[in-house]
Chains A and B, each alone.
Chain A
Amino acid sequence: MLTIEGLRAGYDRLEVLHGLGLSVEAGDPTVVMGANAAGKTTLCRVVTGLIPARAGTIRLDGEDITRLSSADRVRRGIALVPEGRQVFGEMTVRENLRLGAYVHGEPDARDYDTAFGLFPILLERESQRAGLLSGGEQQMLALARALMSRPRLLLLDEPSQGLAPKAVEQVAHAVNRIAETGVAILLVEQNLALAQMIARHAVVLETGSCVADGRASEIMASSAIQDSYLGKKRN
């Protein structure tokens, strides 16, 4: 589904990704792990076109999308649940969902049914301002909003951030149900618990390069991750 080769990207004079390669397939949910500043968020931003790639290629089902605008990538089926949720706080829950379906014109009833089926709480909060929701509810809204564009590839950037363990479990459950419908998942996450609940395929990033790539269960048990990532964690 998604194939990345030799990807370089960064901000101003700072290069964050130094020739990264990885691939994501539907039915094989992938987690990208790594400490802070390893380049995880940059990866999400460059795949969705928020920042340009300096070198390398990004392919979606074989098609080179490296130079496409964000809008064109959304139209081809890439959606991101961004770090920090980034819901439209001044707008209602329903308006947020409507914006999620922006590339298709207006959402139809099925889109809303899918979103509300996955997260019934959003139906209750439908006409509330998104900024007034709790952190967990905002995360669900961000996920539901991403689904409204009917993605084939769903990227999630640290969805567990700032959430209580119960809410993390709800997110994992929802992502697994989305993956079952054939959507390819690329999860970027520091939270091992969430990664274990979702991923089958794991990639470890260290300062902008891939240092391990394989089955999630093996990677998470291996010394590669213990050294490069867990060792640097606070606890």
Chain B
Amino acid sequence: MLELLPQQLVNGLALGSTYALVALGLTLIFGVLLIPNFAHGEFYMLGAFITYALVAAGLNFWLAMLVSVVCIMAMGGLVDRLVFRPIETAPALSLMISALAASIILQQVATMIWGTEPRTIPAPLTGVIRTPFFAVTQLQLVVMASVAAAFGAVWLVLNRSRLGLAIRATAQNRDAAMLMGISMPQVRFATFAMGAALGAIAGALLGATFPIYPSMGVNPVLKAFVVLVLGGIGSLWGAIFGGLVLGVAEVLVAGYIASELQDIGAFAILVLVLLVRPQGLFGRAQVER
């Protein structure tokens, strides 16, 4: 059994990487704007479908993914404008219900266009790298590398740009940020566009490995909320780390206990973290001063 462990870990990290990408976008939107965006899974799903449609039309996979990401960024801004901004000052529950409505509408639209039949995007890379201990597909490597790249890009925007300064200020204290003359529509658009882009990248990459279908975003977004709690809400490191931990844990549970328990494993970890460290692994406990 144990000789399979390296392979299990690699598979777990690859799976966890997609969780991390989805969670990174979700945590960004939640951390900055306090919006529980259940429609995030649909950014992921539409990212996959637009890539699929463009590849089917003859475009190169990577180019298709790029175009798809740009489309989804615009869509992210649009979703914010139509779904969340009109109820800006409403309580969290209304935002959540609005998010669920957006999620359902987007799934229905996708179903009207593409039907419920699962589809596959032809994989852009098919090579496998074999080592004495494990095998890893080139695509898995790309997924893992893109998590690192996405994290680096988000970090750079947040910490090295003026826009990032405005976004971080908004995340810490929205009223104070407005008093600095920071434009909320701008911050909201940028945050949604970035978050949506991360979802679209995850969707396109996953679509090259697994079948895609209109409701494919529901499960990952639930997992991403688990990751958020696991890593600490609003923490970028937490999203990455939590995603990887969740991926590895799921694969280990499936491999060593029973594959039917894979999802239970994820939520068991969630309960455990909530009991032991409610602020998450990377979250800071809130202290009133």
Contact = CB atoms under 8 A, between A and B. Distances in A.
Interface of A: 48-50, 69-71, 74-75, 79-80, 82, 86-91, 95, 98-100, 102-103, 105-106, 131, 145-146, 149
B161 interface: no
Nearest to B176: A86
Contact of B179 (A79, A89, A98): A79
Given A88-B173, A98-B165, A102-B166, A70 B289 contact: no
Nearest to B177: A99
B172 A50 contact: no
Contacts of B116: none
Interface in B29-86: none
A99 B165 contact: yes
Contact of B181 (A95, A106, A131, A149): A149
Interface in B177-206: 177-183
Interface in B152-172: 162, 165-166, 168-169, 172
B180 A74 contact: yes
Given A88-B169, A95-B165, 14 more contacts: A50-B179, A69-B183, A70-B178, A70-B181, A74-B180, A80-B179, A82-B175, A82-B176, A89-B172, A89-B289, A90-B172, A102-B165, A102-B181, A149-B181
B183 A50 contact: no
A87 B183 contact: no
B178 A103 contact: no
The secondary structure that dominates the B interface is helix
Given A91-B169, A95-B165, A99-B169, A74 B181 contact: yes
A203 to B, nearest CB: 22
Contact of A70 (B162, B166, B172, B179): B179
A71 B172 contact: no
A70 B178 CA distance: 6
B175 A131 contact: no
Contact of A71 (B162, B165, B181): B181
B176 A48 contact: no
Contacts of B178: 48-50, 70-71
A132 B155 CA distance: 24
Nearest to A145: B180
Given A50-B175, A86-B176, A131-B289, A102 B182 contact: yes
A74 B172 contact: no
A145 B182 CA distance: 14
A106 B161 CA distance: 11
A90 B183 CA distance: 20
A75 B178 CA distance: 12
